[in-house]
């Protein structure tokens, strides 16, 4: 094998078939099961999109009602899950705490090793219901507050706000969050999804696949970017400083968080929808702080595109949007998990429906073969 055969970062490699989503970088488009993601985000609630991702079609009202009832039945965290979460270090990143909680959940589930299609679907809905509860409870435990139980009268996004803050905000804010859920739900063979598929390919269990995917998503080059964007905005500080900050960062060759994408080179198809929702939310909040983040984002975006021709990715608008919704920065990537659990589990199901163990080759660059000298003769 020659060096040129190596596809570093698997860039450009088509590793398997998928019917879950299609990324079309040449026309900046992304579809879930054939539907444009921007239409799904604005016309459907996240629960409908979750149903679509798993079942291949949008639900009828009756199908959605049955699906919601099933999800609501799975809500509720057992005492031992909360006890384990209470034992975790408050200084650990919430992604590390979430990873441990999901791992714990897996070993308490008697059906963990049932990888039949029905068994996988059941556990996917279980995690879809319980992960938001874990993320919300974790936030409250870390901040010295008692967890709030899920409310069966609230829909998915409203319930998440209520479990975090004990109240549901204005509809525009809930809609902005719900849109972000749809936009984050699925994105073909990104690092965490491929991690989940690789783990599933050994016919390991679905919880193990999700735990591995959470570890992958944590990195700032992947899901952790939404947190990094917020740190960047806080460092920039004010709209007046935004252009100069960006020019200096580019001159000193800094990686600008929330910009660039391995697949999209001329814009991320999810960004305009999220930016619209973020702008509407800024108007509804009407505070000076909200206006300042909006202005900063706008100037940073314009400067980056003009100077480098590199466009924002979805993490760029979601970072400040989540901050303005009231979430603390370290909760941003766990919120990504609340959504992406749908895509990950759909891919695990797809992988196992036509499984081939993931086992790429490597290009060896170490020493040539040599003889082992006994320790006494090594000098
Ligand atoms: N800031 C500054 N320069 C960037 C950049 C960014 N965010 N993203 C890409 N570039 C530049 C690189 O420096 C490189 O320039 P060079 O050819 O002069 O060296 C060129 O664009 C290609 O970048 P590269 O890192 O090789 O592309 P990639 O496909 O491997 O990386 C990302 C894609 C996402 C890892 C990369 O854009 C990045 O690190 N972005 C910031 C983190 C982020 O927002 N991640 C979320 C992704 S959804």
Q: Which CATH number characterizes residue 114's domain?
A: 1.10.580.10
Q: Give the CATH number, domain containing residue 317.
A: 1.10.230.10
**What pLDDT is attached to residue 172?**
95
Please check whether residues 132 and 208 belong to one and the same domain. Answer: yes
Question: Does the CB atom of residue 218 touch ligand 1 within 6 A?
Answer: no
pLDDT tier at 150 (50, 70, 90 boundaries)? very high
| For residues 332-352, average pLDDT | 98
**What domain range includes position 122?**
19-217+334-353
Residue 121 buriedness (CB in 10 A; 0-12 / 13-18 / 19+):
middle
Is 222 a catalytic site residue? yes
Among residues 187, 261, 323, 347, the one annotated as catalytic is 261
Please check whether residues 148 and 96 belong to one and the same domain. Answer: yes
The ligand 1 atom nearest the CA atom of 314:
48
Please check whether residues 204 and 255 belong to one and the same domain. Answer: no
Please check whether residues 197 and 339 belong to one and the same domain. Answer: yes
Residue 90 lies in a domain: yes
Residue 194 lies in a domain: yes
Among residues 138, 178, 268, 315, the one annotated as catalytic is 315
Residue 169 lies in a domain: yes
Residue 367 lies in a domain: no
Please check whether residues 80 and 162 belong to one and the same domain. Answer: yes
Please check whether residues 28 and 100 belong to one and the same domain. Answer: yes
pLDDT tier at 379 (50, 70, 90 boundaries)? confident
| pLDDT at residue 1 is higher than 80 | no
Please check whether residues 243 and 293 belong to one and the same domain. Answer: yes
Please check whether residues 198 and 100 belong to one and the same domain. Answer: yes
Residue 371 lies in a domain: no
C-alpha 200/C-alpha 352 separation (Å) is 7
| For residues 139-148, average pLDDT | 95
Please check whether residues 145 and 238 belong to one and the same domain. Answer: no
Task: Please state whether 291 falls in left (phi above 0), alpha (psi between -120 and 50) or beta.
Answer: alpha
| pLDDT at residue 312 is higher than 80 | yes
Residue 213 lies in a domain: yes
Please check whether residues 271 and 343 belong to one and the same domain. Answer: no
**What pLDDT is attached to residue 3?**
55
Please check whether residues 142 and 242 belong to one and the same domain. Answer: no
Residue 186 lies in a domain: yes
Is 315 a catalytic site residue? yes
**What pLDDT is attached to residue 301?**
97
Residues 54 and 349: beta-carbon distance below 8 Å: yes
**What pLDDT is attached to residue 4?**
67
Q: What is the percent of the chain with per-residue pLDDT over 70, rounded to a whole number?
A: 99
Span from the CA of 92 to the centroid of ligand 1 (angstroms): 28
Among residues 16, 109, 151, 222, the one annotated as catalytic is 222
Q: How many domains does the chain have?
A: 2
| pLDDT at residue 106 is higher than 70 | yes
Identify which has the larger pLDDT, 267 or 336. Answer: 336
How high is the mean pLDDT of the chain?
95
C-alpha 204/C-alpha 199 separation (Å) is 6
| pLDDT at residue 209 is higher than 70 | yes
Residue 67 lies in a domain: yes
Task: Pick the last residue of a domain from 308, 325, 342.
Answer: 325
Residue 129 buriedness (CB in 10 A; 0-12 / 13-18 / 19+):
buried
- Is 0.75 topped by the overall pTM? yes
Please check whether residues 113 and 209 belong to one and the same domain. Answer: yes
Residue 267 in tokens:
């814009």
């Amino acid at each position: 094998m020659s060096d040129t055969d190596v596809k570093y970062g698997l860039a450009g490699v088509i590793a398997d078939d998928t019917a879950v989503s299609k990324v079309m970088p040449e026309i900046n488009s992304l579809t879930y099961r054939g539907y444009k993601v921007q239409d799904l985000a604005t016309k459907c609630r996240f629960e409908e999109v979750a149903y679509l991702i798993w079942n291949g079609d949008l639900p009828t009202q009756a199908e959605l009602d049955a699906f919601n009832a099933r999800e609501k039945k799975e809500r509720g965290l057992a005492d031992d899950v909360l006890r384990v979460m209470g034992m975790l270090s408050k200084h650990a990143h919430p992604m590390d705490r979430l990873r441990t909680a999901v791992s714990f959940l897996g070993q308490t589930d008697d059906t963990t090793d049932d990888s039949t299609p029905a068994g996988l679907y059941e556990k996917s809905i279980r995690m879809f219901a319980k992960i938001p509860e874990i993320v919300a409870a974790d936030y409250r435990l870390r901040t010295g507050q008692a967890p709030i139980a899920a409310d069966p009268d609230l829909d998915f996004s409203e319930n998440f706000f209520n479990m975090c803050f004990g109240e549901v905000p204005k509809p525009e804010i809930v809609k902005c969050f719900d849109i972000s859920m749809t936009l984050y739900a699925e994105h073909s063979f990104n690092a965490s999804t491929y991690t989940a598929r690789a783990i599933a390919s050994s016919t390991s269990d679905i919880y193990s696949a999700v735990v591995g995917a959470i570890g992958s998503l944590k990195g700032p080059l992947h899901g952790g970017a939404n947190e990094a964007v917020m740190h960047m905005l806080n460092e920039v500080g004010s709209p007046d400083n935004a252009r100069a900050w960006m020019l200096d960062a580019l001159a000193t060759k800094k990686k600008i968080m929330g910009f660039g994408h391995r697949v999209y080179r001329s814009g991320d198809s999810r960004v305009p929808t999220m930016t619209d929702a973020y702008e509407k939310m800024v108007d509804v909040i009407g505070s000076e702080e909200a206006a300042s983040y909006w202005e900063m984002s706008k100037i940073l975006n314009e400067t980056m595109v003009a100077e480098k021709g590199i466009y924002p990715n979805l993490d760029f608008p979601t970072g400040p949007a989540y901050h303005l919704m009231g979430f603390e920065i370290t909760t941003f990537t766990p919120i990504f998990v609340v959504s992406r659990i749908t895509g990950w589990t759909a891919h695990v199901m797809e992988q196992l429906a036509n499984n081939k163990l993931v086992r790429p080759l490597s290009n060896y660059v170490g020493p040539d073969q040599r003889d082992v000298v006994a320790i006494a003769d090594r000098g």
